[in-house]
Structures are given as C-alpha cells and as structure tokens.
Amino acid sequence: MNVIVTATTPFPDQKPGTSGLRKKVSVFQRPHYLENFVQSIFDSLEDYAGQTLVVGGDGRYYNRHAIQVILRMAAANGFGRVLVGRDGLLSTPAASCVIRKHGAFGGIILSASHNPAGPDGDFGIKYNTSNGGPAPEKITDAIHRRSLEIREYRTLDSDDINLSKTGHASLGDMDVEVIDPVADYAELMETLFDFDRIRALVGNGRFRLCFDAMHAITGPYAVEILGRRLGVPADALINVEPKEDFGGGHPDPNLVYAKQLVERLYRDDGPDFGAASDGDGDRNMILGRHCFVTPSDSLAVLAANARLMPGYRDGLAGIARSMPTSQAADRVAEKLGIELFETPTGWKFFGNLLDAGRATLCGEESFGTGSSHVREKDGLWAVLFWLDLLAARQLPVQEIVSRHWAEYGRNYYSRHDYEGVSADGAGELMARLRELTGSLAGKRYGDYEVALSDDFSYTDPIDHSVSERQGIRIVFTDGSRIVFRLSGTGTEGATLRVYLERYEPDPARQALDAQEALADLIGIAGEIARIRHHTGREAPTVIT
C-alpha cells in the first residue's frame, strides 16, 4: 500500500483543553482538520515505531469515519499494531484499561464526553499516554505548537477496515486487531468488587435498581456486566443502545439531563438505587430513593468504606480531589491518617499521584470518580462500588449518607452552571475577580468574613510542575467557600461554574435542602462577581 504525503496548512484553533480538542462536528469535517491534529499528535511523540496504539470512542456521530482516518495515518506513520474496539467503541475508562493491560505506547480516544452529539453536535479527540491517562500539559503543549507549524501529513491509500467483528486485519505493515470493547474492562472489575455479593443483593427479590446509559457508550458495558454477569433485569437498564446522536439527549448525568432516571427515583414506589453515566462512560450520578448523592459526598463515602471492597482491603494510600470539589473527602483522609491532595480540575493532574502510589481514590465535583485501577475517571466503576457497598452494609443509600454526615459532618455543597454565556462577558467577570482577589480579605458580607481570596495555583508534588490561574477562591473565616471557574469542555460561548460550600457539624442541622443552606453564599457570589451583569442571566442553567 502506498504512503501518501499530503500538503496542508495549519489551523490556529487546535489547542487542546482539559480533555483534548473539542469542536463542532462541522469543524472537524473541514478538509485536513482532523488529519492535521492527528499528525500533530504523532509528530509530538518519540520512539513509537513498531509500537501498539489503542483507538476507540464513544460512538457519537463522526466516530466511525475518524477511526478509519486514524488507522490509516497510524500505519503510514510507523505504528506496528493498533487495538481498536469493535464498531469503533471503547469507553474512556475501558480505553485506559486496555492501554495498561496490553502495554500500549498510548491511545487516541474520540469523545466530547457529556456534550451533545449528532451532525450538528460536538466531536472530540485526545491522546492518552502509556500509563492510560490523559496526556500531561507538556505533551498537549507540544501538540499545539506542532499544529501551528504543520505543513504535511501522512496516510495510506487503502480501503476501510471492517470493524464490525473481532479479529485481525492488515494495513500496510501494521496489524489491526478489532477487540471486544467490554471484555478487558469487565475482567478488571471482577478483581475489584465482590460480584457474588452484588449478585445476591440484586437477586433477593426486594432490591430494585435502575441504570441509565443515556444512549451512550456504557450501554454495552451495562448489558454485559450488570445484566449478564450480575443478573440485573433487562428492564432495569434503560437507554442502553448507543446512538450517534445519543437519542437526541444531552448525555450529562445530572439532575437536569437525566430527567427520566430522576423521576423514577423520586417516586414513592421508585427503585432503591439509581445511577447514570455520560457520553464516554467516565462520569456517574448516584441516586437513592428520594436521594441525590453529590459527587463530593460520593467520593467521601467511598473512601470511608473502601476497605469493604476486595480490591481495596489493604487501605488507601491517599485521596486526591480537584480544588472545586467539596472538602468532605478531606475529613475522611484526616481520620484515616492518609494524604489528601488538592489539584486543579482535569483528570490528568491525578496521574502523577496515582503512578507514584501517593493516591488511590480520586474525584472531581463534575460527576467524576475513580481510582488507581485505571488513569481515567470511571462511571461504571463508581456504580459497581456503590452496589457492592449497599450489599455489604445492607442499608439504603440515604441511610449510608446520613450516617456518614453524622460521623464526619456535612459539607453543604452545590454547583451553579451558567452554560453558553458570552465568552467576552465571562472573561470580563473572571478578570474583575482576579483584580479583586488582593483586596477582599477582611471584608464582611452579612455574617461572613473573607479570610482568603486568590487564583488557585498548583505545584505537582511529583514532578514539581506549576499550573496557575486554576480558579478564583474566596474562603471565609468559618471555612465556607465560593469558587469561580470557566469550564474548558464546551464548544460554544463559555460555561461559568460557581461552587458553593458550607460545613455543618451538627447532625440536627444536616437535613436542610442544600440550596436553602447555601442561600446566603449564593447571594454573596452574585454580589461579588456581578454574575447577572456579566452573563445576562437571571439564574443558572443547571444546579447540582
């Protein structure tokens, strides 16, 4: 087969964000756009000739075409082997699992995570390194630099590979192995959790659950692991057929977009346990009957109960959380006598800690939880952890959470998202907050006095790299916090995220609605940041 070298010119907008490059499908469909970025990835790597690459995605629109492009370019650039999920499918955590298990050089994951899909939706691509985790900033910066100077890309003159069945095929000198996208991941899950114990729970005739795959990648994983291996009835698994447009839905597992699941769990006769995962399978939402477990609380509860799980009986080395995530996990780490790390948002910041054995569990408030078993957050892993916990404790979700609060105190916590606001307005809001950070200490807002205000900076304890401007923190003398960030996961306008937190140690005062308990802080956040003025919004798009 002939290698084709195609002349091209750079695109100025190929800077990867916290989770790779995300744009509208129509942008990726522009001539040379996808090829430029893929070649920029390969040009930024060293010593990969003859090595193994893992490729897969969340099944969204354009996934199939992009994978064929990547396969031909990987062959033309000298990779010796590619492992690709059947039908081009691999959840993000499963891709990390496959990279690690098979000793791959790295992987290319096609996903825009929880963003909408379809011809008018979003598409994304990111590179993961040999540890299975997202490329660190030194690599993504190199990819961006290369994308600004690229002048040609390499591909093969060849037909598409049949991805519909497992087996081997050749592209030039490169072996392409189409693999079962679920098998390696399912095998790993069985080493971490007590499947017999979960089987007994779901088969006792009293316990009912509902899992919503949101017509995204975790559908096949849920059918195989929850259904075939654990015995969960088929009617308890909803929206399990992956669709290129996610069924027209928004595959973000939160109280707004997972409406069908939430309505089921908030009925008086609803299931005992509910969960959802997102577009590429790395996020999760956990529900009990009439009960929503915040991602921050979920991380803390799982950490406090980890020794009950077969894969974590030796205890935790440490816990890592993103800075905006509530401090609930900090209290667990303190009681367990282990390290707690506060990092910027973005799973790549956990990689060094996990590789160095300094952390075992990690979590972000954006519905992401995971552990050292892979180097990505992992939605179905979190669901299995909760199911095994429920089987071990034999208590309802709400009771487990309430007992946790009684022991550790409750961190009232909420995130307010203002989605699709003017990028200019959001930028002005953040710039004004940065100007204010040096002058807020000592100021009073009602009953609250500012103790600290800064723009969070992180020094990695392993490689000592520094990441600055990671979010504005306003910390009050009683430990309450307000955090402001602009999200890097959208493709239109900007998303302003406002995080609010207040600690309540008294069990008698832990049953308030979170928005009620945080009402004063919500008002203060609006006052300090002038949110209405800069966004033109009267209220958040999503509250979690």
Neighbouring residues of 384: CB distance < 8 A, sequence distance ≥ 6: 189, 192, 193, 198, 225
Residues 49, 189, single domain; the answer is no
Tens of pLDDT, residue by residue over 120-141, are 999 999 999 999 999 988 999 9
State how many domains the chain has.
3
Q: How many CB atoms lie within 10 A of CB 139?
A: 19
Domain final residue, candidates 408, 428, 453: 408
| pLDDT of 523 | 96
Say if CB 155 and CB 69 are below 8 A apart.
Answer: yes
Residues 285, 166, single domain; the answer is no
Residues 189, 164, single domain; the answer is no
Q: Report how far residue 179's alpha carbon sits from residue 53's, in angstroms, rounded to the nearest whole number.
A: 13
Residues 423, 516, single domain; the answer is yes
Say if CB 449 and CB 442 are below 8 A apart.
Answer: yes
State the Cα angle at 281 between 168 and 70, rounded to 5°. Answer: 40
Domain final residue, candidates 370, 386, 408: 408
Buried-state track 261-275, b at ≥16 Cβ within 10 A, e below 16: bbebbeeeebbbbbb
Residues 335, 214, single domain; the answer is yes
Residues 340, 352, single domain; the answer is yes
| pLDDT of 47 | 96
Residues 357, 403, single domain; the answer is yes
Say if CB 285 and CB 169 are below 8 A apart.
Answer: no
Whole-number CA gyration radius for the chain: 23
Strand ranges in 357-504 using DSSP code E only, listed in sequence order: 361-364, 368-371, 410-421, 444-445, 448-455, 458-459, 466-467, 472-476, 481-486, 494-504
- Specify the pairing of strand 444-445 against strand 448-455: antiparallel
According to DSSP, residue 345 is labeled: S
Strand ranges in 64-191 using DSSP code E only, listed in sequence order: 81-89, 106-110, 122-128, 152-156, 167-171, 174-179
Q: Residue written as tokens 């990028």?
A: 423
Residues 442, 484, single domain; the answer is yes
Residues 191, 263, single domain; the answer is yes
| pLDDT of 491 | 57
Domain final residue, candidates 158, 181, 204: 181
Q: Considering the entire predicted model, what is its pTM?
A: 0.94
- Specify the pairing of strand 472-476 against strand 284-288: unpaired
Q: Which two tokens mark 357? A: 């054995």
Query: Within the chain, which residues score under 70 in pLDDT?
Result: 488-492
Q: Report how far residue 440's alpha carbon sits from residue 477's, in angstroms, rounded to the nearest whole number.
A: 12
Say if CB 89 and CB 217 are below 8 A apart.
Answer: yes
| Catalytic annotation present for 113 | yes
Neighbouring residues of 344: CB distance < 8 A, sequence distance ≥ 6: 322, 323, 456, 458, 467, 470, 471
CATH number at residue 495: 3.30.310.50
For residue 427, give its domain range. Answer: 410-543
Residues 238, 165, single domain; the answer is no
Out of 19, 96, 111, 113, which one is annotated catalytic? Answer: 113
Residues 354, 497, single domain; the answer is no
CATH number at residue 339: 3.40.120.10
Tens of pLDDT, residue by residue over 426-447, are 999 999 999 999 899 999 999 9
Helices (H), ranges, 44-136:
63-76, 92-101
Neighbouring residues of 485: CB distance < 8 A, sequence distance ≥ 6: 324, 345, 470, 471, 472, 496, 497, 499
> DSSP readout, 223-258?
IIIIIIIT---GGGEES-S--TTGGGS----STTTT
Residues 119, 258, single domain; the answer is no
Cα torsion 185, 310, 283, 198 to 10°: value is: 90
